[in-house]
């Protein structure tokens, strides 16, 4: 019940396209869902986060869509750029503050 399932494992998108990464969870106690971007040899950097009381949150080219009933959330990267090529991790947490991370998605945006 503590797992967060992330898909796809890897993704190749043309420049200017939309990248979509999906995550699903079981534990309905989760109340905070952040997305992190990680470049090789670097620590993860927070991209955007959402709580279950909203269905969508947008920050620049990054949008989180949240479906509480389906227990799923997804990251959409609009107008994908080669500089977006990185590994993306979703996570979920409860009031205990410990994150449960997804397995990661390696995104490659072709120029």
Residues of this chain that bind another protein (CB under 8 A): 32, 34, 36, 41-46, 49, 89, 93, 97-99, 101-104, 106
Whole-number CA gyration radius for the chain: 13
- Minimum Å distance from CB 9 to another protein? 10
- Minimum Å distance from CB 101 to another protein? 5
Q: In this complex, which beta carbon is closest to another protein, that of residue 34 or of residue 84?
A: 34
- Minimum Å distance from CB 16 to another protein? 27
Q: In this complex, which beta carbon is closest to another protein, that of residue 13 or of residue 23?
A: 23
Q: In this complex, which beta carbon is closest to another protein, that of residue 41 or of residue 83?
A: 41
Sequence-distant (≥ 6) Cβ neighbours of residue 47 within 8 angstroms: 34, 35, 36, 37, 59, 62, 75, 88
Residue labelled with tokens 């927070």: 46
Structure token pair of residue 5: 């399932």
Q: In this complex, which beta carbon is closest to another protein, that of residue 17 or of residue 52?
A: 52
Q: How far apart are CA 23 and CA 46, in angstroms?
A: 16
Is the separation of the CB atoms in 6 and 103 below 8 Å? Answer: yes
- Minimum Å distance from CB 77 to another protein? 19
């Amino acid at each position: 019940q503590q797992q967060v399932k992330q898909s796809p494992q890897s993704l190749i998108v043309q420049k200017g396209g939309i990248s979509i990464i999906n995550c699903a969870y079981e534990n309905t106690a989760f109340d905070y869902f952040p997305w992190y971007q990680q470049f090789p040899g670097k620590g993860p950097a927070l991209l955007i986060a959402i709580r279950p009381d909203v269905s969508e949150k947008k920050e620049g080219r990054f949008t989180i869509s949240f479906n509480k009933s389906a227990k799923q959330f997804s990251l959409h990267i609009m107008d994908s750029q080669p500089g977006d090529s990185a590994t993306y991790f979703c996570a979920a947490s409860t009031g205990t503050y410990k994150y449960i991370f997804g397995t990661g998605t390696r995104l490659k945006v072709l120029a």
